[in-house]
Amino acid sequence: MPSFHPPVRTLMGPGPSDVSPRVLEALSRPTIGHLDPAFVAMMDEMKGMLRTAFCTENELTMPVSAPGSAGMETCFANLVEPGDKVIVCQNGVFGGRMKENVERCGGVAVMVQDTWGTAVDPAKLEASLKENTDAKIVAFVHAETSTGALSDAKTLCEIAHAHDCLAIVDAVTSLGGVPLLVDEWNIDAIYSGTQKCLSCTPGLSPVSFNDRAVEKIKNRKTPVQSWFLDLNLVMAYWGDGGGGARSYHHTAPINALYGLHESLVILEEEGLEAAWQRHAYHHQALRAGIEAMGLSFIVPEGDRLPQLNAVTIPDGVADADVRKQLLADYNLEIGAGLGDLAGKVWRIGLMGFACNKTNVLFCLGALDAVLSGMTDNINKGVAVAAAMAFYQQ
């Protein structure tokens, strides 16, 4: 059996995004022990850089040794106890996964539903909390990866706290791509992923918990149902047991953490606000090209994520055929719609290292070429020129 050598792709789907060559180099560095003093020192550096990325001073800020879905489960498994009522705001696929987590923890999920492609409606959350005065937690997705909708996390957290609830926030797609101010917005528990705007490999999930959340974790009446994700145990490894010592919990994914460390170094070199601005800037160029073709976005402009663009599929065009041809002819990956939006939209990612002028123009040119051979329901040959006009203004 020969070694596996993957094709070289340009990843402009909903994730993973293109990985920085610096991160790939970091992954190849020599493996050392997960309790090695040098590795422990790197862990402390990483925690500090994650605090910067999350805009928080939370002591319990670390990467879970598993992908973003495990970060989600870490938040729910540690904060939801049997019988707890949790208000879950759903405006896409991932709000539904929050509901699944609540119920698997023995909690009671009360759903606040919004149309897919729109932001979470604060008024609906307020009304639900007034009806459910015994609710203990509010959970919502900041940046809904299935639709490209951005919700007002600050306002939603304020409403949750006004009703004495903790707030759990999904920031898998928002971290590093749009403003995310954990301390200023008083987010109690938050999770993300490394494969989106951080441009690292999949497999790690940064999380952060404030003092209110930690107090609830430490004073649970029942054990956390997951041994591996029990923060009462994990804190002893990622925290300081005195003199820099760590208590063994699991063998950390050492080389993967090298990669995350390097991606956070890159983010600090660019500057967090500069990264937010870069994502917004290149989104505007992509938007100019998409709209020049006669295509549209499903999310209203004010609620639209710059790094995840849900674009309508022209009438008479088969979603899978376009994505298949883009992959075969251009080595370009864009994403399909999920759930209610399957077959109706493409999800075009502009995340992290992949968010640049070259990729915007390449994607528009490739999409124009493929669609021009399939339909007359687009404006042909104008997308790249429209994006260039934006860049040159």
pLDDT digits (tens, 9 = 90+) for 153-190: 999 999 999 999 999 999 999 999 999 999 999 999 99
Element at 118 (helix H, strand E): none
3-state secondary structure of 324: helix
pLDDT at 242: 47
Q: How far apart are CA 213 and CA 217, in angstroms?
A: 6
Contact (CB, 8 A) for 145 and 92: yes
Q: What is the CATH number of domain 272-392?
A: 3.90.1150.10
Element at 21 (helix H, strand E): helix 21-27
pLDDT at 240: 55
The CATH number corresponding to 20-268 among 3.40.640.10, 3.30.750.24, 3.30.365.10, 3.40.50.20 equals 3.40.640.10
pLDDT at 243: 52
Is pTM beyond 0.85 here?
A: yes
Cα separations in angstroms, 166 against 13, 159, 190, 206, 210: 32, 10, 11, 19, 10
Q: How far apart are CA 305 and CA 287, in angstroms?
A: 11
Tens-digit pLDDT profile for residues 336-375: 999 889 999 999 999 999 999 999 999 999 999 999 999 9
Name the residue ranges covered by the structural domains of the chain.
Answer: 20-268, 272-392
- The distance from CA 209 to its chain's CA centroid, rounded to whole angstroms, is 17
Residue 96 per-residue DSSP state: H
Average pLDDT over residues 297-301: 96
Contact (CB, 8 A) for 331 and 255: no
DSSP 208-228: EE-HHHHHHHHT-SS--S-ST
- In the predicted structure, residue 246 carries a pLDDT above the cut 80: no
Question: Average pLDDT of the chain?
Answer: 96
Average pLDDT over residues 228-253: 79
Tens-digit pLDDT profile for residues 71-94: 999 999 999 999 999 999 999 999
In which band, very low, low, confident or very high, does the pLDDT at 248 lie, cut at 50, 70 and 90?
A: confident
Q: How far apart are CA 12 and CA 3, in angstroms?
A: 26
DSSP 269-283: HH-HHHHHHHHHHHH
Q: Tell me whether residue 46 is exposed, middle or buried, using C-beta atoms within 10 angstroms of its C-beta: 0 to 12, 13 to 18, 19 or more.
A: buried
HSE value, Cβ hemisphere, 13 Å, CA-based, for 124 = 16
Q: How far apart are CA 335 and CA 196, in angstroms?
A: 13
